[in-house]
Chains A and B, each alone.
Chain A
């Protein structure tokens, strides 16, 4: 673990909460980016990031320092994000706007499943290019484990060891999961390209 983080954590455990504020400012953007790409929801990402930092603050004594602080923080945030996704079983796209009348769609409860049929996909993206929207939609369609490993590797640039630490799996599993995730992503992108022709 780098010395700055070590010093900040030590200060925090002595009662200086402003030291924890410094840790938050240091890692909030990076964590938010990864969680938002994982969940494709700004609001959920905000909640998860805040929960992760607060949980990390309360659990600081249990952080042994045998990994980077950010890896540990990532683990907390990703576990919370995966739990949220599994509870919801659907995703909200940052782009999607749907008719809010659940009655007409016959949905009794819960959240409507993502409908990425061509005529329902929005032609707008708030500040997104078409290419970005296409890639995000493809990411959204991956399974939770595949999406996590792709976000950690290709978006955040983590090594296999760090990914293994965050997800609690062996390095070999990271490698095979990444390979399957990329294959699946390629299939999704190919299908999208076929539809566009």
Chain B
């Protein structure tokens, strides 16, 4: 029976990730053990089969969608945070501060002392004994004295009546150091604050969800607020809470039909609403803000009539939350389409004719030509909505004929229309 260590070595051997000593061990094991050879062979076969799986190609060119998202959302690479330098504020009352200061002072003292003794020991003797009688020209001075000219007489006398002449000769030969740098003494470094300029604070602007009752839409304030909120996002999501999913579903569908909407209703919706199981979504790209408002207002009017006639209301409150990208992602789960299939209020960047076409252009054109014939394409419907399960979503919504028919028939979205995600949620 092979040990785990051997098995792991054999697995690493398939990947070629062995050290030289491990390679020796593996060769020995394979030579001596039939079980090891069989195991190695099986691992290699399995690994090879996984590696041989055909590569899955991406269904479309992501670059267009991603560049579109970047352009439309105004995304930019987030700059790195500024480096904040903490100001040093000495804490005179803390022992640690004094201990640190003492340490620094000690180190400085040691360095200064050592430097003094080093240079004191190593400097030439004439600098240590300044007696004129005993002074001999230092090697530096002797070097500074130019050699004796051909005339035979030195340019500078080695001994001079003026002791300072030797020093002057020495000084004259020394290269002048560069001029000291100009220091701006107008700025008092110690008095200048050491903190970077603080950026002005911007108050965080948080949008709250709008929670209203359909019945209250006959009042001025809720109407005005709803109208305002409906124009703020590129996708409107309304969660409409209902007391009876079946009746609520029927009411919304009737209201849409009254506004000449063609409805594509997924067959499982009816059964779910009868069984009051789960949540439903109505999605439409055929209404502008005013029409969405009119839809909700109409439902509210119906509710008020039910209240007057003392019948059981169908709806409770509704919530209009600020749109988030997760809404479209959630919708894509219910309708089985990628988020790029939903026609948002985005202006596509025009094609740059200077840029080369992508590699997949030819196959895309061929594919689109193939789809359209021989049958005539589906006629676009002006006003169309789809009703589908929201939660739990269907296992394979893209296989639904009704959902596919919606996407085939919806046509181009008119300017001003806003995609509406209306979720019917029973109050549990």
B63 touches A24 (CB 8 A): yes
Q: Which of B11, B17, B58 contacts A49 (CB 8 A)?
A: B58
B268 part of interface (Cβ distance < 8 Å): yes
A98 touches B8 (CB 8 A): no
A100 touches B12 (CB 8 A): no
A17 touches B67 (CB 8 A): yes
Chain B residues near A20 (CB, 8 Å)? 66-67, 70
Interchain nearest-CB distance for B11 vs A (Å): 4
B278 touches A17 (CB 8 A): no
B277 part of interface (Cβ distance < 8 Å): yes
From known contacts A49-B58, A101-B268, infer whether A139 and B395 are also in contact, taking CB-CB under 8 Å.
Answer: no
Measured CA separation A179–B55 after assembly (Å) = 23
Q: C-beta contact mask, A4-43 vs B, less than 8 Å → 1, else 0? A: 0000000011000110111011001100110011000011
A57 touches B49 (CB 8 A): no
Q: Across the interface, name the chain B residue whose C-beta is closest to A100.
A: B394
Q: C-beta contact mask, A56-68 vs B, less than 8 Å → 1, else 0? A: 0111111000000
Q: Across the interface, name the chain B residue whose C-beta is closest to A175.
A: B12
A100 touches B277 (CB 8 A): no
Which residues in chain A, 44-72, are within 8 Å of chain B measured between CB atoms?
45-47, 49-50, 53-54, 57-62
B336 touches A21 (CB 8 A): no
Which residues in chain B, 41-61, are within 8 Å of chain A measured between CB atoms?
42-43, 46-47, 49-51, 53-59, 61
User: Number of residue pairs across A and B with beta carbons under 8 Å?
Assistant: 166
Measured CA separation A157–B53 after assembly (Å) = 12
Chain B residues near A150 (CB, 8 Å)? 50
From known contacts A47-B329, A178-B15, infer whether A54 and B70 are also in contact, taking CB-CB under 8 Å.
Answer: yes
B46 touches A186 (CB 8 A): yes
A46 touches B338 (CB 8 A): yes
B53 touches A37 (CB 8 A): yes
Interchain nearest-CB distance for B42 vs A (Å): 6
B69 part of interface (Cβ distance < 8 Å): yes
Measured CA separation A42–B62 after assembly (Å) = 13
Q: C-beta contact mask, A77-115 vs B, less than 8 Å → 1, else 0? A: 000000000000000100011111111000111111000
Q: Which of B15, B77, B389 contacts A153 (CB 8 A)?
A: B15
Q: Across the interface, name the chain B residue whose C-beta is closest to A49.
A: B62
Interchain nearest-CB distance for A105 vs B (Å): 10
Q: Which of B8, B15, B58, B62 contacts A160 (CB 8 A)?
A: B15
B355 part of interface (Cβ distance < 8 Å): yes
From known contacts A50-B65, A96-B395, A97-B395, infer whether A32 and B53 are also in contact, taking CB-CB under 8 Å.
Answer: no
* Sample of 10 further A-B pairs with CB below 8 A, known A58-B76, A61-B77: A28-B61, A43-B338, A50-B66, A61-B80, A102-B392, A111-B392, A135-B53, A179-B8, A182-B43, A182-B46
B interface residues (Cβ-Cβ under 8 A, vs A): 4, 7-8, 11-12, 15, 17, 42-43, 46-47, 49-51, 53-59, 61-63, 65-67, 69-71, 75-80, 268, 271-272, 275, 277-278, 329, 332-333, 336, 338-339, 352, 355, 358, 389, 391-397, 399-400
What are 19 sample pairs from A and B whose C-beta atoms fall under 8 A apart? A24-B63, A24-B67, A25-B63, A25-B358, A28-B63, A29-B58, A33-B56, A46-B58, A47-B338, A49-B58, A49-B62, A50-B62, A50-B66, A61-B80, A102-B278, A103-B278, A159-B17, A160-B15, A182-B46
8 A-B pairs with least C-beta separation: A100-B394, A98-B395, A179-B11, A32-B58, A24-B63, A60-B77, A154-B50, A179-B8
